[in-house]
Amino acid sequence: MASDNKGRPPYPPFTAETAHIKVKAAQDAWNTKDPAKVKMAYTPDSIWRNRDTFLQGRDEIEAFLTKKWEREQGYRLRKELFSFTDNKIAVHFWYEWYDAEGQWWRTYGLEDWTFAEDGLMRKRQMSGNDVKITHEERWYKNGVDVNTVPISEKHW
């Protein structure tokens, strides 16, 4: 796990290959649902907008993610590279989860990331929409590799 003073490769400026690596590393970290681990990918003063919530710093990120994953049970996420430039990456994402009543949801969205020179994310903006789905409509059923699920163009 990175400390406050260590970066996280790959470092900007990004190439198509290194941007893809960064996206999949984020996907894998978020799928651990471990807020203490996930927050270490962000600068200590990282700025977030997650839908209508504004956060700053690792402590706020960890608290936010803790509440998120308490509410979003069965969470499984896939991220794909949308675009990149020197120190910025944009991603599509889809994740599935169920609520306290057992209703399944799929969240569709986009994220805009800005990185510090050390490879830690210093800014994250997320916009997403939740869509009710049935158990049968789920893509990420137990044991499936989220990277192998075909996602048609209508979902991009």
pLDDT in tens, the chain (156 residues): 444 557 889 999 999 999 999 999 999 999 999 999 999 999 999 999 999 999 999 999 999 999 999 999 999 999 999 999 999 999 999 999 999 999 999 999 999 999 999 999 999 999 999 999 999 999 999 889 999 999 988 887
Token pair 């409509």 is found at: 137
